Structures are given as C-alpha cells and as structure tokens.
C-alpha cells in the first residue's frame, strides 16, 4: 500500500527550535490553528510533545492534506485534529475559533502578499485576547537581507513567481498592526530564519 506520508528535510532542522519558542509563549492547554501545514510533520511533533495543545492542521493542497491525514492516522493522537482544506485568502474556509494561537511556518514568502494581508485580517478576528500569531521564515530587516543565502533564496523565489519573495519584517509588522496585532518578539532561528510573534492585546 502506498505510504502518503511526506517528509521535509527542513522540519528536522527547525522543529525543535520552533517548539521551544511556542512552549515559552503558549499555555499548557491551548487551541491552535496551523496554516499551510505541508507534510504534517510539525503538527505531529507539536501535538506529540504537548498533549494539552489541541492542534488543527490545514492546507489548500490535496497531497498535503493526504500526508497530514496519513501521519495522523499512524500516530492516533487524540489532540491532533483531522486536517481541513483552507485557502488563507478565502474567509469562508477559516474555522470560527477562537484560537489561542495561529501558526504559519514558511508561508508568507512562498505566496503572494495578499496571503499575508488575509492572514493578518483573519488572525486578528479569531485569536482570543492575548492570543498569538506565530510566523516562521526568512525576513529582510531594515530593507536588507540578513544573509547572502537569504538573498539568493529571494531571487530564486521571485524567478519562480514574481509575487513571491522574502518579506520586509517592518512591512509585515505594519500589516499586523492594521488588524490589531502587536509585534511582541523576534527570535533568531536556524538557517537565517526568524520566529516572529504578534499578540492580540
């Protein structure tokens, strides 16, 4: 029987550091919506590590949804929900919430800017007071790339789709603020990535 579970090398590098950042900010019991869950490995790892987190994975792509479902079936974790199809730009796709956290790992640079705009708007509506929007990925700071590898990655993304690209952290923070989300923390992560946390006051 064909195994639908996908594996991403990036998850092996960033899973534990991301978990540590989330554990510092989220309570032991939390309801979390993950966007663009991809292979589902992050959802599996975080739900395994934190049984009190009710983790809702999502993705717009059928192969990703199949992979997430396969990982979930193999693990049989009570706190890992079945994946839902969710296009960030489609308001009707979003579950009502409220959520203690919305998590988006490696999303806004591999999508049009409209995705970041929609993400901020919907997260602002669905987070509980004090809830967290967590973003992970590469960013420009002060209008400049933080490393040569990020500059090369940005150029590659824009070749693949001119609407994609490494975002300016200041622009992302300004968009979040428009929707009532305040920048709380920026943490250095592996491979020149950042953890960026916004809070709904």
Q: What residue spans define the domains of the chain?
A: 9-199
**Average pLDDT of 31-43?**
97
- In this predicted structure, the answer to whether residue 65 has a pLDDT above a threshold of 70 is yes
pLDDT of residue 149: 97
pLDDT band per the 50, 70, 90 thresholds, residue 93: very high
In the predicted model, what is the mean pLDDT of the chain? 96
**Average pLDDT of 175-182?**
98
**Average pLDDT of 79-102?**
97
- In this predicted structure, the answer to whether residue 1 has a pLDDT above a threshold of 80 is no
pLDDT band per the 50, 70, 90 thresholds, residue 121: very high
- In this predicted structure, the answer to whether residue 153 has a pLDDT above a threshold of 80 is yes
The b/e string for 85-98 (b: 16+ C-beta within 10 A; e otherwise) is ebbbbeeeebeebe
- In this predicted structure, the answer to whether residue 10 has a pLDDT above a threshold of 70 is yes
SS3 readout for 68-99:
HHHHHHHHCCCCECCCEECCCCCHHHCCCCCE
Is 14 strand, coil or helix? Answer: helix
So what's the architecture of 9-199 in CATH?
3-Layer(aba) Sandwich (3.40)
Q: Could you give the dihedral angle defined by the CA atoms of residues 67, 73, 74 and 78, in that order, rounded to the nearest 10 degrees? A: 120
> 111 and 164 in contact (C-beta within 8 Å)?
yes
- In this predicted structure, the answer to whether residue 106 has a pLDDT above a threshold of 80 is yes
pLDDT of residue 81: 98
Residue-wise pLDDT for 69-88, tens only, equals 999 999 999 999 999 999 99
CA atoms within 13 A on the CB side of 57: 29
Distance (Å, rounded) from C-alpha 200 to C-alpha 112?
24
pLDDT of residue 3: 87
- Note the pTM of the prediction, 2 decimals: 0.96
CB-based contacts of 138, cutoff 8 Å, min separation 6: 109, 146, 150, 153, 154, 166, 192, 193, 194
> 107 and 136 in contact (C-beta within 8 Å)?
no
Bridge-based pairing state of the strands 99-105 and 127-137: parallel
Angle at 140 between CA 138 and CA 146, to 5 degrees: 80
């Amino acid at each position: 029987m064909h195994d639908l579970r996908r594996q991403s090398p990036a998850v092996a590098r960033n899973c534990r550091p991301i978990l540590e950042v989330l554990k510092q900010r989220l309570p032991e019991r939390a309801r979390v919506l993950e966007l663009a869950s991809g292979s589902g490995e992050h959802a599996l790892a975080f739900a395994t590590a934190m049984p009190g987190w009710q983790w809702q994975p999502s993705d717009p792509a059928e192969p990703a949804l199949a992979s997430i479902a396969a990982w979930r079936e193999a693990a049989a974790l009570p706190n890992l929900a079945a994946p839902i199809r969710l296009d960030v730009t489609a308001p009707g796709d979003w579950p009502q919430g409220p959520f203690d956290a919305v998590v988006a790992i490696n999303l806004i640079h591999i999508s049009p800017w409209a995705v970041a705009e929609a993400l901020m708007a919907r997260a602002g509506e669905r987070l509980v007071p004090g809830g967290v929007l967590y973003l992970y990925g590469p960013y420009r700071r002060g209008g400049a790339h933080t490393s040569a590898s990020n500059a090369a990655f940005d150029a590659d993304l824009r070749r693949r789709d001119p609407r994609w690209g490494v975002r300016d952290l200041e622009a992302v923070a300004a968009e979040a603020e428009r929707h009532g989300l305040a920048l709380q923390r920026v943490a250095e992560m592996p491979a020149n990535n950042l953890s960026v946390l916004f809070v709904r006051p």
